[in-house]
Amino acid sequence: MTDLTPPTPPFVAAHLVVDDAAAAIDFYAAAFGAEEMIRLAGPDGRIAHASLLVNGAMIMLNDDYPEMSGGKSTTPTALGGSAVTIHLQFADDVESRFQRALDAGATVVAPLEDQFWGDRYGAIRDPFGHLWSLAQHVREVDMAELAGQMSQGS
């Protein structure tokens, strides 16, 4: 039998664990314009897998399944924070995108400001504990200037 499924190209995608996947999908749609690709719920109603398109990239997420992790919750809330920041780079209009995330319920971790490396950059925490940074490139910085700024501790 011939397999008619096209091959999937290699990719890297963030896979988020949240306390309420349905609410997270709604938040990411409101905050980042996420487009839902798939949502699969298990018999108990928890979302076992969802895929979203965010800024042209796939983000996967699911409800917490402690029984699949040795009885331990793996949400940022349960772990006391997140060690990973998901970065969104934009060609323009980072101010309104940052504000959109705040209006949807995110909180500021780092205000949106021009940075020495040439980006306008800020960071937020979503209502589920995940960290996101948003940036727009606003000026060119040569490597000598960047190295000088780094050595000064900017």
Instruction: State the residue range of the domain holding 119.
Output: 14-67+81-151
Whether 126 is in a domain gets the answer yes
pTM over 0.85: yes
Whether 73 is in a domain gets the answer no
Whether 3 is in a domain gets the answer no
Query: Which has more confidence, 85 or 148?
Result: 85
Whether 56 is in a domain gets the answer yes
Number of domains forming the structure of the chain:
1
Whether 142 is in a domain gets the answer yes
How sure is the predictor about 154, in pLDDT bands with cuts at 50, 70 and 90? low
CATH number, domain containing residue 89: 3.10.180.10
pLDDT at 1 over 70: no
Nearest residue to 112 (alpha-carbon basis) of 128, 132, 127, 130 = 132
Whether 9 is in a domain gets the answer no
Q: In whole numbers, what is the pLDDT of the chain averaged over residues? A: 94
Q: What pLDDT, on a 0 to 100 scale, did the predictor assign at position 115?
A: 95
How many Cβ atoms from other residues are within 10 Å of residue 88's Cβ? 19
Average pLDDT, integer, range 58-85:
96
Type of residue at 112: L
CA distances (Å), 49 to each of 38, 45, 133, in order?
8, 11, 24
Q: What pLDDT, on a 0 to 100 scale, did the predictor assign at position 7?
A: 77
**In degrees, to the nearest 5, what angle opens at C-alpha 97 toward C-alphas 75 and 101?**
35
DSSP codes of every residue in 110-133: EEEEE-TTSEEEEEEE-TTS-EEE
Whether 5 is in a domain gets the answer no
Whether 133 is in a domain gets the answer yes
